Amino acid sequence: MKEYHIIDCHWHPAIDARTDTGWFGPVGSIRKQIETLRRAGISQACGAPIEKIEKPASFRKIRLLNDKAFALRDKHPDFYIPGIHIHPKFPDESCCEIERCCGGEGVRWIGELVGRWMDYGDDFATKNALQIFRTAIEYDAVVNFHCGDLKVIGKLCATLPELKLVLAHPSSNRMEFLERIKIVSKFKNLHLDISGAGIDRFGILRKAIDMAGTDKILFGTDYPINNPAVYTHGAKLEDLSEKERKLLFGGNFLRLTK
Ligand SMILES: [Zn+2]
């Protein structure tokens, strides 16, 4: 199969035991994870390390995750593109964190944000979240988020049309997928990453691009929860044009993050 420069926009690097999301035991060192992604055909990967944080009393643990991302970027600058966290429970701290990370450190990617892991559920369109995302607009940062509530997604897209959004996961449920891709096609600022469930449904990428457009779909895996080779091979096998494949594999990511 042809080789491409593939950028995975949805990696959760397992930096230590707390950030290891693998289902079946430790996934191994960062070196081993990068080697696994490379063996799957991936040239670069982006995303935030993630851990379960219950009822955070302060922003400290969230900032610590972002610092872990920067340490990893400094060690593997050719491979890893950092993603950072914010937290709607701490709007002022989150805005300052965006200034620190996107201003000072030059970060372009916020997420993947998983509210159900960090005790904020689907709070992506609340007053606090909107305050935080207005700061993201100032720094032209992209927000990658996990959300199953179409009303929340619609409210967020409509309220902040300048915010660059990437919804995670198509879904392998036919009706759910069609609803999600429909909302991606409806809002100009909303995109979809193909990580998680869905790639095993043959033709899903063709359908997604037909409905939402070539500029809307980004390559992602959710490794180490998922096997990254499933996504590279699945995407290569789909009936896409060269142009569509290049945009999916990295073109759209690079355009959004500049
Ligand atoms: Zn994820």
Beta carbons of 250 and 5 less than 8 angstroms apart: yes
**For residue 230, is pLDDT > 70?**
yes
What are the tens digits of pLDDT across the range 81-90?
999 999 999 9
Residue ranges covered by each domain of the chain: 6-257
6-257 is classed CATH 3.20.20.140: yes
Q: How confident is the prediction for the chain on average, in pLDDT?
A: 97
d(CA 127, CA 132): 9
66 CA distance to ligand 1 middle (Å): 16
82 CA distance to ligand 1 middle (Å): 14
Within 13 Å of residue 2, how many CA atoms lie on the same side as its CB? 10
**For residue 43, is pLDDT > 70?**
yes
**For residue 143, is pLDDT > 80?**
yes
169 CA distance to ligand 1 middle (Å): 8
Tell me whether residue 58 is exposed, middle or buried, using C-beta atoms within 10 angstroms of its C-beta: 0 to 12, 13 to 18, 19 or more. Answer: exposed
111 CA distance to ligand 1 middle (Å): 8
**For residue 1, is pLDDT > 70?**
no
* pLDDT at residue 250, as a whole number: 98
18 CA distance to ligand 1 middle (Å): 15
52 CA distance to ligand 1 middle (Å): 12
What are the tens digits of pLDDT across the range 50-85?
999 999 999 999 999 999 999 999 999 999 999 999
222 CA distance to ligand 1 middle (Å): 5
d(CA 224, CA 27): 7
104 CA distance to ligand 1 middle (Å): 25
* pLDDT at residue 104, as a whole number: 87
161 CA distance to ligand 1 middle (Å): 24
Question: What mean pLDDT comes out for the span 11-32?
Answer: 96
22 CA distance to ligand 1 middle (Å): 11
* pLDDT at residue 70, as a whole number: 98
**Closest to 65 in 3D by CA, of 25, 24, 118:** 118
What are the tens digits of pLDDT across the range 75-132?
999 999 999 999 999 999 999 999 999 998 999 999 999 999 999 999 999 999 999 9
Strands 80-84 and 142-145, sheet pairing: unpaired
Strands 42-47 and 217-218, sheet pairing: unpaired
